[in-house]
Chains A and B, each alone.
Chain A
Amino acid sequence: MSSFLEVKNLSVAFPTEDGIVQATNEVTFSVDLGQTLAIVGESGSGKSVSNLAIMGLHNPKSTRISGQAIFNLESGPIDVLTAPTETVRKMRGSTMSMIFQDPMSSLHPFFTIGNQIAESWLLHNEGGKKEARARAIEMLDLVGIPSADRRVDDYPHQFSGGMRQRAMIAMALVNNPKLLIADEPTTALDVTIQAQIIELIKQVQKEFNMAVILITHDLGVVAEVADHINVMYAGRLVETGPVDDVFYNSDHPYTRGLLNSIPRVDSFHGGRLSTIPGQPPSLIHLPNGCSFQPRCSYAKHVFGNKCEISMPELSQKAANHLARCHLSEAEIISATKAGA
């Protein structure tokens, strides 16, 4: 059976004055209904860009997009990258929906919260304003806004940060979408509010049996909600697998480096943090061979400078677990022992 969303060889490039920025490069993944996929990576790794493409939100005039993003709907499969604009517009909101990092700049300051949610409903449904308003109140209630029937007439500035993010979620869900893309939904929020919002996303996912794509840099949040992880580096998928496999048996030196470099609140050891040296490469001038090779402490252990010569393919490490690295597991272990 095919997954709900299948992304195949998705590449997005932006031509600029300095050269072509290859923001994502041949990215392939899929998400099932009821499943949460987390996409992790540093700024500029292409995690947001690939999802804007899935939403059909790139300007075709200034972007070069290739590949496929197929939604397997009951009415048949639709590739949003080739479908007519009008079809994609109809799908946006009702099939797939997105929430963003900064709820203040994604809400219109001049319209009431209720108005904005109702507008989204009216776009996709036959019905009057009264019905839309009732639906907005219902949604605000669902996402846990207290006395929703009163707060529906508030403006965004009258809401706190956490409530705005709740309102964003209400707006995204008003047409019962099948896929929710959450782009750093809790990065701007305090930890106590973050916990509330994550709880809410988990709850609505269950209720509506949605597929969720969570874009984040916070591996703690990933550990909490994800079923499957995609790790991206310099526009490419470098590791993908079930959450436990990637956390406990990571096969890519970058993933290992990331996991090792974050301090944890549940274990105190002092001393120095382990780091990944250097910084992410420019997407215009990528290094030769593997993009991570200049920062990789294992590269020198690979026979014949293979890492500097050729880009490794994504290769199978375990069931559903793929990594883009020339090293085999055994080589990583022996290199670690040798003190890489």
Chain B
Amino acid sequence: MATPILKVSGLKKYFLSSGGFTGRNKQVIKAVDGVDFEIYPGETVGLVGESGCGKTTVGRTILKLYDPTEGSIFFEGQDIAHASKVEIFSIRSKMQMIFQDPYASLNPRHTVGEIIGAPFQIHTKLSKDEIKNEVQSLLTKVGLNPEHINRFPHEFSGGQRQRIGIARALALRPKLIVADEPVSALDVSIQAQVVNLLDDLQDEYGLAYLFVAHDLSVVQHISDRVIVMYLGKVMEIAKTESLFKEPRHPYTKALLSAVPIPDPKLERSRERITLVGDLPTPANPPSGCVFNTRCWKAKDICRTTAPELLTVGSSTVACHFPE
């Protein structure tokens, strides 16, 4: 493959908790703790994991909505982890974001024309009429009626609003879109429509997606490769097909086995791996392998030594005892 459009190495993002009412119990929350991966042009990379595993933080740090604590983010060969605000400004038009909640991510007082036109006003010198034309062609592209340019977000349904969010992200022809749970707030019959739209747009514009989601079936459908995260660390990276067919990491295996399949006969005969307990807190992660407290294969070495990401078969896995 060509050179990656995005290369992330050793990415860390720590947050400092407020320390409660007295401010004395400040804790370091290791939301993302050493993550490496790359995304190639035109590729969709799925990023999955339970809530609190740091997947959203990864997406936001890549876009520099957060400043990384450590590590580097190369976008088209340029390290943006330590870039200045001015340098970031020009890069922003090439990487955009689609948010989860189509109700919260659109300004209710702005018309659709203003919302989708904003990127043009900020980044281009187009005239008002030219912007209007662009906005209307974008609306058509995402399957909305271009005559609705003067409507407000509340006049649209959830699925339509997500289309508006997609049009806004597309406006400046970005090369990479970080989509954070873009369909999880939508009804089932609408989810499929939006997933297909994202697929079509990728074919047309050669977009790369980082698709952050917890719904593994959607991730499997849309992704070329999948990254599995747990407590701020990468557990496994693999091509979608091999990850779902032959999960190497026990956590991936458990995660897949927990997803119910819409097939009653299959469900009745299925052996399920039920993980015990909850996700440990990222303020005080377990020593050694972070998954050892919930892993049925854990031995002494797992409690003392953190496994490195190594290639096993067609996957890259961080586990002492991969499947």
Contacts and interface: CB of A to CB of B under 8 A. Distances in A.
Interface in A215-251: 217-224, 226, 243-244, 247
B196 A273 contact: yes
A218 B158 CA distance: 18
Contacts of B279: 160, 190
B51 interface: yes
Given A160-B279, A192-B50, A261-B192, A43 B262 contact: no
Contacts of A265: 216-217, 220, 244, 256, 259, 261
A199 B221 contact: no
Contact of B262 (A162, A192, A198, A262): A262
Interface in B170-217: 187-193, 195-196, 199, 214, 216-217
A155 to B, nearest CB: 14
B191 A192 contact: no
Given A247-B263, A265-B216, A268-B244, A258 B258 contact: no
A191 B259 contact: yes
Contacts of B159: 279
A61 interface: no
A222 B274 contact: no
B260 A223 contact: yes
B264 interface: yes
A136 interface: no
Nearest to B195: A273
Interface string B220-245: 11000000000000000000110011
Interface stretch (B80-88, B116-124, B265-273): B265-273
A264 B195 CA distance: 14
Given A263-B221, A272-B199, A258 B188 contact: yes
A122 interface: no
A262 B187 contact: no
Contacts, number: 130
A219 B221 CA distance: 17
Contacts of B216: 191, 265
A191 B273 CA distance: 12
Contact of B217 (A222, A224, A262): A262
A279 B196 contact: no
Interface string A265-291: 110101011111101100000000000
Nearest to B185: A43
Given A163-B278, A272-B199, A266 B261 contact: yes
Interface of A: 42-43, 160-163, 190-196, 198-199, 217-224, 226, 243-244, 247, 257-259, 261-266, 268, 270, 272-277, 279-280
5 contacts: A43-B158, A192-B254, A193-B50, A196-B274, A263-B217
Interface of B: 50-51, 157-160, 187-193, 195-196, 199, 214, 216-218, 220-221, 240-241, 244-245, 254-267, 272, 274-275, 278-279
